[in-house]
Structure 1
Amino acid sequence: MKKVNRTIAGLAMLLAVSGCSSIIAVSTDSPIQEDHGSRTWGSIIDDQSIETTATVNIDKAFAGKAEANFTVTSYNGIILLVGQVPNAEMKSTAEATVKRLRKVRTVYNELTIAGPISLPARSNDSWITTKAKSKLLATEGVPSGRIKILTENGVIYMLGLLTRAEAKTSVDAIANTYGAQRIVQVFEYID
């Protein structure tokens, strides 16, 4: 009896699930369009995992060496390394460490060979990022939810999945952010 009940329940579930696409097909006149600019939950989780793993692995690779200040940012498998390291060897070690991780597609190594920036400089970077994000939110035609912004030592870095027109509009929107020295675009274009 239990086997029959399980079989009936399984068939009922199968029929219910297969009917979903039929209901959607009947309820809309046009085909469903895929949004190529949005990331899946899976890719968002992958990016968070890459950032955490890369940070821990770089810290371990730098253990016992001179002090370094760095940030790992991942957006759709594209990695941006920013911060300061004391020498070229540590810069290349950081990049090599990140390149070995699964689901890493490209690494942009923007680490500079210098001592760590001061706390006031970091605070200023946070303020520049806040101003830039506010400008994006206020600009029409900019999908600010698909753009990640961070600032390091006065340089604004922008990552995201955008069309070329959206990228140009977003860069133009923050181009004159007070305190920013320059803008580095690390966009993945979807057109």
Structure 2
Amino acid sequence: MKKIILSISLIVNSLFLIGCAPVIQGASTVSSVISISNDRRSIGKILDDKTIASRLLIWYSEDPTLSDVHLNFMVYNKTVLITGEVSTPEIRIYASKQAQLQVPNISQIFNEIKLGPSSGLISRVKDSAITIQVEFLFQNQEVFHPIHVRVMTENQVVYLMGALTKREANMAAKTAAKAKGAYKVVKLFDYLKTRPKAEIERDKLKELEDKRKAEFEKQQVDLETKKADLQRQIRALSSNTTATNFSPEYAF
């Protein structure tokens, strides 16, 4: 079962890697361009993170010591979060150390592996549902861009990674805590003192563009209203002229 799940994970991850390649070549889809342009990581760092994730999955699938172990990985800016369940403290330490050895360019590892039996299918489905809820809730706020936060849930604990200001991080944690079934929220953010300058400028341009669009639409409405009024006046004038020119003839 583990091999099947890992094979699917590797295929999905590979698709993500393939999906990023056209961006470098300048032939991306609109959605990919938007995602890349809004991400606070450079294209190089995004690819580094995806490469790290792929290498971790390959190592995990091939390591005999971890053949009956359930682990998950999330990567952001070369920082790795490892979650899951193992039977002994020794395997817990082994997993963390081996991850660093297998992928030397990892800058930091958060070892959130718990001691105990592997979670069952129902538990994992619940975790996936919580993650989907959190990502949906992120769409309904305006403090931070949802793409700036990575989300993973393990045993109803929601883990958040990304590069955010403290205000954004607090809103992300507060929003994630609203997800039904979420037991706890863990913040593993890279904290920024301020939002990136380029991002602020981009938002200002968007705000200006939205304002211009709103003004243009208002002008269009005003013109349509004036046009309708003028047409009514013309019809009224035409009706009055017809009534004036009408002279009935009487026979005596």
TM-score, normalization by structure 1: 0.76
Query: Gapped runs of 5+ residues in structure 1?
Result: 1-34
Q: In structure 2, how many angstroms separate the alpha carbons of the residues matched to 1:173 and 1:75?
A: 20
Query: Gapped runs of 5+ residues in structure 2?
Result: 1-36, 194-252
Matched, 1:83 2:84: yes
For residue 143 of structure 1, report the CA deviation from its aligned partner.
1.6
Note the alpha carbon deviations across 1:54-110, whole angstroms, 9 max, x for none.
22223333x156611111111011100011112111111111112222321110000
Q: In structure 2, how many angstroms separate the alpha carbons of the residues matched to 1:65 and 1:168?
A: 36
Structure ID, larger Rg: 2
For residue 52 of structure 1, report the CA deviation from its aligned partner.
1.4
Q: Name the amino acid aligned to 2:93.
A: S
On the 8 A contact 1:143/1:166 being kept in 2, the answer is no
Match of 2:191? 189
Extract structure 1 runs of 4+ deviating beyond 6 A.
Answer: none
- Give % identity: 25
Match of 1:71? 72
What is the RMSD of the two structures over their aligned residues, measured on CA atoms?
1.9
Matched, 1:123 2:145: no
Q: Name the amino acid aligned to 2:75.
A: S
SS of the counterpart of 2:117? coil
Q: Name the amino acid aligned to 1:96.
A: K
SS of the counterpart of 2:125? helix
SS of the counterpart of 2:61? helix
SS of the counterpart of 2:159? strand
Point out the structure with the larger strand share. Answer: 1
Q: In structure 2, how many angstroms separate the alpha carbons of the residues matched to 1:103 and 1:64?
A: 23
Point out the structure with the larger helix share. Answer: 2
Distance 1:38 1:89, change over 3 A: same
Q: In structure 1, how many angstroms separate the alpha carbons of the residues matched to 2:67 and 2:44?
A: 36
Matched, 1:109 2:111: yes
On the 8 A contact 2:134/2:179 being kept in 1, the answer is yes
On the 8 A contact 2:61/2:67 being kept in 1, the answer is no
- Structure showing greater relative contact order (alpha-carbon pairs closer than 8 Å, 6 or more residues apart): 1
